[in-house]
Amino acid sequence: MRNLIKIFGVVILIGFIYIGVSNIRMSNNKLKFKEIELKSQEVKLKQLDERYQEVLDKKANTEAEKQEQLKKIEELEKEKRQLQEDLSAKLDKQQAEKERLARAAKKASGAQTVSALASGCEALRSQMLGLGVGAHEIDSAIKLAMRESSCNHNAVNKSSNACGAYQSLPCGKWGAPGTTEYLQGAINYARSRYGDYNKALAHSYANNWY
């Protein structure tokens, strides 16, 4: 029953991760659309500046033409201020959205790591139980694997070249990591040296190796 609850918890966690990633993708699409809007706004500002310059360059000979020119200048300046305010507001909104997305992506990445760790450890638990590790020591066996490799069969220690979920040294002395031969070798080692996984874990906590 406890294993079923843990599996159910992992499934729920994966579901939340999927929803989170989907939301991030949707938000990224919205950001791209906003970037297109911003570019359009910038183009409008550039066109407005060109029109403004045309009005200034146009020579006004009569008083009426001067008044008309001043009126157009005021209208263009008003339109420009409005465009600049809109652009500034959209830039602020875009920046806030980018920051929110960065936080969401970081959270999703952390959740994916937790999910991968949980699923890896649950798979290892099933393997170890199948090889005869008893209920009284299975939790210690998995905690030891978490300390050694985060339950990763492909883990390799860069300094010592120890490898696998239980970090065999030298790598290969228990066979290929992840195989039944490897795990049986890890079990035999823990039992011959410490008696069981509870004592092996206690030694790991005390000495930071086992």
pLDDT tens digit string along 114-128? 444 556 888 899 899
Mean pLDDT estimate for the chain:
78
Which helix or strand (DSSP H or E) is residue 156 part of? none
pLDDT for the residue numbered 156: 93
Cβ-proximal residues to 125 (8 Å cutoff; 6+ apart), any chain: 3, 138, 141, 142
pLDDT for the residue numbered 201: 95
Only one residue has tokens 């929803």, namely 19
Does the predicted model carry a pTM greater than 0.85?
A: no
Does residue 163 sit in helix, strand or coil?
strand
pLDDT for the residue numbered 61: 78
- Looking at the DSSP bridge assignments, the partners of residue 160 are none
- Looking at the DSSP bridge assignments, the partners of residue 98 are none
pLDDT for the residue numbered 114: 46
**Cβ(149)–Cβ(166) under 8 Å?**
yes
What are the chain's domains? 2-129 (1.20.120), 134-207 (no CATH)
13 Cα distance to chain centroid? 14
pLDDT for the residue numbered 37: 64
Which helix or strand (DSSP H or E) is residue 34 part of? helix 2-57
Helices (H) then strands (E): counts for the chain? 5, 0
The DSSP code sequence of 102-132 is HHHHHHHHHHHHHHHHHHHHHHHHHHHHHTT
Which regions in the chain score pLDDT beneath 50?
4, 7-8, 10-14, 16-19, 21, 111-116
